[in-house]
Structure 1
Amino acid sequence: MTIEQGGWAVPVRKRGNKLERWEIALIKAMIADGRWPNDQDILAYFTRPTRSINHRAIAEIRTGKKHASVKAVAADDLEGFLSSWPEIDAETGLSLRGDELLIKAREAMVAAVHTFNSAGLTFRAELFIVTAVIAWTYLLHAWFKREGIDYRHTTNKNGQKVVSKTPSGADKFWELGQCLKEPRCPVEQGAKDNLTFLLELRHEIEHRSTNRIDDAVSAKLQACCINFNDAIKKLFGAQYALERRLPIALQFVTFSPDQRAILKKANGLPRNVEIMMDGFEGRLTPEQQVDPRYAFRVFMVGRTANRAPSADLAVEIVPPGSEVAEKFNIALKEVEKKKYLPSEIVNQMKAEGWDRFTMDSHTKLWKRLDAKNSAKGYGTVAVGKTWCWYETWLNRVREECEQHPQRYRSTVAPPLPN
């Protein structure tokens, strides 16, 4: 929940704001020290923009009404805290210790974008996904912590919940997938779909050779960035947005449609990644697929500006329904995946020289591979009850022919002489 204040969306402070155990131990030491007889003076050390604490909390510690079991820190630890106070992030004013999760979330997303935009890197999408997942995990942990939601894994032992531990004895916290499943998770559905896609893709490509997948998933990566920035502003405040940290990325070249087609053909996706992506999107509704929070797409049109300030804009957002948007309406339409009838698959294979590949060959192949299983993403029911195949299935059929040339071609080229 937010309120508008001076044009800024400000999150409403929650009653669940409370002191952490390490802070209580410091407060007890300050009370025992005697230099701070006024509760309000002590409170000043522990109030920060992301969390409001009532001065009553200090009085309850002083009188022993609450937190009696917490021991005060040693005098040296208190002096160490005072000498380094305030430990804050210079840009945001966030406490390095108290707001650690939120700071880590911001820095991880900045690192993800900088990594993807770095010149000379080959596997940029993979690096972005791993780092962005870390950023989102920290962001949701920070929100769960503020809302008083326990985000630790637990097990049931003898009817009681027990916190799960790592081999070294630390609490095990939720991974991003578990955070998204929490009913109170504040992430909107389109952004959830985007993150679920990236998680599935990460599971599919980890520890495997992927070729380059940057072009194929760029719309999802862009949406992930925008969703993160929107979420951090909505949940914690506009002052923590990343727009000022991340300028527009510049590049040296642009590609014509023909050039991009050649590049995509040369750097085709691995079949397992194609199947995963098609299968995932096959489970989404049409509304989910076009949600910009799932995949953010823009088009850029070269133009000559009449006014100098307009000419300086590298990217201009065109409002829906405007004259420019209507003029380029065709460019904004969603491109539907090309579909093939079974006869078109067979004819294509024959045109490529696989003259023994027949309709019977095709039927036996899709049955053997269970290719009409929608989870595999090879095709879909199009008009009426007619099954149509996607490009991924055409590639799989081509792969089958290339693996068994003696089966699908009348004449096989003799091996080259030694």
Structure 2
Amino acid sequence: MRPPLKPEAAPDATAPNPVVPAAPAPVPTPGNRSPVRRRGNSLERWEIALIKAMIADGRWPNDQDILAHFTRPTRSVNHRAIAEIRTKKKHTAVKPAAAEDLDAFLACWPDVDPETGLSLQGDELLIKAREAMIAAVHIFNGAGLTFRAELFIVTAVIAWTYLLHAWFKREGIDYRHTKMEAGVRVVSKTPNGADKYWELAQCLKHARCPVERGSADNLLYLLELRHEIEHQSTSRIDDAVSAKLQACCINFNDVIKGQFGAQYALERRLPIALQFVTFSPDQRALLKKAGNLPRHLETMMEGFEQKLTPEQQDDPRFAYRVFMIRKTANRAPGADLAVELVPPGSDVEEKFSMALKEVEKRKYLPTEVVEKVRAEGWNRFTMDSHTRLWQRLGAKDLAKGYGAVAVGKQWCWYEPWLNRVLEECQQNPDRYRTAAVPD
């Protein structure tokens, strides 16, 4: 039986509800992506217990022989640590492991992942992070699935959570929720008595979190979308969020390579996905028309992006967008390339950027909003209803992105506000629609 993983090195004393040590002083890390082993080289409690059992057994009189069982590519431990345990200089409160636990450990040692060399026990968080992201991509690329984006998002959030937990653990940062009891900060517990670890949103808030701004925006977007799909039907959202999902994959791969090493990258496991179809502009338009998003999702997506600056929206770590054109290769080697990425700043990129330039946002006068809502069947929605609604919701707050003052100092509303109004009507049908008269 494998002992449970702990978020930090074992202390010298135990307590039923341990006091949380102060976190290290925040240091700036964005941009420093080199996989340097700065921390995380300490032995864990379960390892100390096994080392004490090995010392007591007598078959390993040499500290270096014992050390060999606890050193791995993601963590190097100084042989001094074994000597400190042998001489009882440290970790005196940890009891030796039982003989059967030592036998079980030796029977499966070296217990490593054959592809990466990661320890299945000591590197469990990193292994689970990789496997969860691989599973998320396989799910999305799976032929015949119609619930792909939602399943990807849920699984990718798990992958990112494990990845950041692995990073915090290595850095010696306690990633457990805490609370104050009798003037002392203690670890929060689940109803079953287990430690409560940070969720992804909390991980992203930490001052030393290694995720850069664009990547964090991408994850916060997916988290907000996940909250929507947990409680309501979504229809098909694959096309609407595909750029965000692609960015999520690339960002994950960048962080795991930059923080843990290039040998843990996922490129070799996840080659390019092949397609059976091509899409003409007419086909694309029909698909988009047939797959309209629910109002609550359109409101969430547009509202989130309205809060971002233009630079944040254009950041490829937030949404990774590419365009593909059919090409006739003029060289034999070039004919083998299924996808060719055009470098930024090239002539081709400039021409297509001009062709694909986003048009100005559609603006609606208040009367147009009312007309469109009534055209959707909400015949009791009036201009007075509209005025009361925007006043109640504070919709003219520019930070909400619902509208702005246009030419001539006339207030105009954007598409997100129209979607929000329609959502309000759907939530209160008795107020905004006359009941049908029975035959």
| TM norm. shorter chain > 0.5 | yes
Q: What is the alpha-carbon root mean square deviation over aligned residues?
A: 3.3
Does structure 1 residue 199 correspond to structure 2 residue 234? Answer: no
Does structure 1 residue 229 correspond to structure 2 residue 253? Answer: yes
Equivalent residue for 1:49? 73
CA distance in 1 between counterparts of 2:297 and 2:155 reads 20
Query: In the TM superposition, what is the alpha-carbon distance from 1:343 to its structure 2 partner?
Result: 5.2
CA distance in 1 between counterparts of 2:425 and 2:40 reads 64
Does structure 1 residue 144 correspond to structure 2 residue 152? Answer: no
Kept after mapping to 1: 8 A contact 2:36/2:259: no
| Partner residue of 1:70 out of 75, 87, 94 | 94
Q: Specify whether residues 229 and 386 from structure 1 end up closer, same or farther in structure 2 by C-alpha distance, changes over 3 A only.
A: farther
CA distance in 2 between counterparts of 1:57 and 1:356 reads 76
Equivalent residue for 1:338? 362
Q: Specify whether residues 349 and 137 from structure 1 end up closer, same or farther in structure 2 by C-alpha distance, changes over 3 A only.
A: closer
| Partner residue of 1:86 out of 110, 132, 138 | 110
| Partner residue of 1:238 out of 242, 254, 262 | 262
SS where residue 231 of structure 2 aligns?
coil
Equivalent residue for 1:278? 302
Does structure 1 residue 58 correspond to structure 2 residue 82? Answer: yes
Q: Deviations over 1:232-291 (max 9, x none)?
A: 011101110001111111222222333323322222211111111122112111111111
Which one has more relative contact order, counting CA pairs under 8 Å at least 6 apart? 2
CA distance in 1 between counterparts of 2:429 and 2:91 reads 74
CA distance in 1 between counterparts of 2:164 and 2:143 reads 31
CA distance in 2 between counterparts of 1:186 and 1:217 reads 24
Kept after mapping to 1: 8 A contact 2:30/2:211: no
Query: In the TM superposition, what is the alpha-carbon distance from 1:71 to its structure 2 partner?
Result: 1.2
Kept after mapping to 2: 8 A contact 1:338/1:391: yes
Equivalent residue for 1:99? 123
Kept after mapping to 1: 8 A contact 2:306/2:400: no
Equivalent residue for 1:327? 351
Q: Specify whether residues 70 and 331 from structure 1 end up closer, same or farther in structure 2 by C-alpha distance, changes over 3 A only.
A: farther
Kept after mapping to 2: 8 A contact 1:2/1:234: no
Query: In the TM superposition, what is the alpha-carbon distance from 1:294 to its structure 2 partner?
Result: 0.8
CA distance in 1 between counterparts of 2:52 and 2:240 reads 56
CA distance in 1 between counterparts of 2:292 and 2:406 reads 25
Alignment size in residue pairs: 410
In the TM superposition, 1:138-177 aligns within 5 A as 138-177=162-201
Kept after mapping to 2: 8 A contact 1:382/1:388: yes
Q: Which runs of 5+ in 2 are unaligned?
A: 1-28
In the TM superposition, 1:318-397 aligns within 5 A as 318-331=342-355, 333-334=357-358, 336-342=360-366, 344-345=368-369, 363=387, 366-367=390-391, 371-373=395-397, 378-382=402-406, 386-394=410-418
Q: Deviations over 1:89-114 (max 9, x none)?
A: 11101000000000000000011111
Q: Deviations over 1:201-221 (max 9, x none)?
A: 111221311111111111111
Q: Which runs of 5+ in 1 are unaligned?
A: none
SS where residue 412 of structure 2 aligns?
strand
CA distance in 2 between counterparts of 1:196 and 1:398 reads 25
Query: What amino acid is the match of 2:173?
Result: I
Query: What amino acid is the match of 1:171?
Result: D
TM-score normalized with structure 1 length: 0.88
Kept after mapping to 1: 8 A contact 2:136/2:156: yes
What is the percent sequence identity of the aligned residues?
A: 76
Does structure 1 residue 317 correspond to structure 2 residue 341? Answer: yes
CA distance in 2 between counterparts of 1:23 and 1:83 reads 15
In the TM superposition, 1:31-42 aligns within 5 A as 31-42=55-66
Q: Specify whether residues 267 and 125 from structure 1 end up closer, same or farther in structure 2 by C-alpha distance, changes over 3 A only.
A: same
TM-score normalized with structure 2 length: 0.84
Does structure 1 residue 182 correspond to structure 2 residue 181? Answer: no
SS where residue 11 of structure 1 aligns?
coil
CA distance in 2 between counterparts of 1:357 and 1:165 reads 49
Does structure 1 residue 17 correspond to structure 2 residue 41? Answer: yes
Does structure 1 residue 252 correspond to structure 2 residue 288? Answer: no
Q: Specify whether residues 155 and 254 from structure 1 end up closer, same or farther in structure 2 by C-alpha distance, changes over 3 A only.
A: same
Equivalent residue for 1:292? 316
Q: Deviations over 1:49-68 (max 9, x none)?
A: 11111111011011000111
SS where residue 157 of structure 2 aligns?
helix
Kept after mapping to 2: 8 A contact 1:123/1:212: yes
CA distance in 1 between counterparts of 2:153 and 2:181 reads 36
Kept after mapping to 2: 8 A contact 1:233/1:239: yes
Query: In the TM superposition, what is the alpha-carbon distance from 1:167 to its structure 2 partner?
Result: 1.6
Equivalent residue for 2:8? none
In the TM superposition, 1:104-143 aligns within 5 A as 104-143=128-167
Equivalent residue for 2:10? none
SS where residue 328 of structure 1 aligns?
helix
In terms of mean alpha carbon deviation, does 230-239 or 12-21 score higher? 12-21
Equivalent residue for 1:267? 291
CA distance in 1 between counterparts of 2:369 and 2:68 reads 73
CA distance in 2 between counterparts of 1:129 and 1:318 reads 28
Kept after mapping to 2: 8 A contact 1:282/1:374: no
CA distance in 2 between counterparts of 1:136 and 1:93 reads 21
CA distance in 2 between counterparts of 1:339 and 1:162 reads 52
Kept after mapping to 2: 8 A contact 1:275/1:377: no
CA distance in 2 between counterparts of 1:354 and 1:160 reads 56
